[in-house]
Amino acid sequence: MSVIISDEILAATRMTEAEMKQEIALMLFQKEKLTLAQASRLALMNSISFQHLLASRQIPVHYDIEDFEQDIKNLREMGRL
């Protein structure tokens, strides 16, 4: 599924497309709708950079068994395990 955000909305928020994706990822992570790995991908950031972004916003990292399993799955899919 693709979501289209108009240039008008981006201009109104004074955000770039990348910044908008990061904000959406942060919000969904904070509401526990996305895992750390999923939110990092949505934000187009590696996991460490996304964790730094979370820390800069004082958003705690909730990392549980499901997140760990998702990270293992992602690593396997990328051929790194």
40 falls within a domain: yes
Domain that residue 46 falls in: 7-77
pLDDT in tens, 18-77: 999 999 999 999 999 998 889 999 999 998 999 999 999 999 887 778 878 888 888 898
* Residue 42: predicted pLDDT: 95
For the chain, list the strands marked E by DSSP: none
Considering the entire predicted model, what is its pTM? 0.72
What is the total count of domains within the chain?
1
61 falls within a domain: yes
3-state DSSP assignment of residue 60: coil
The predicted model gives 1-21 an average pLDDT of: 92
* Residue 52: predicted pLDDT: 95
> Above 80 in pLDDT, residue 6?
yes
Calpha distance 6→23 (Å, rounded): 16
41 falls within a domain: yes
17 falls within a domain: yes
**Total Cβ atoms within 10 A of residue 36:** 20
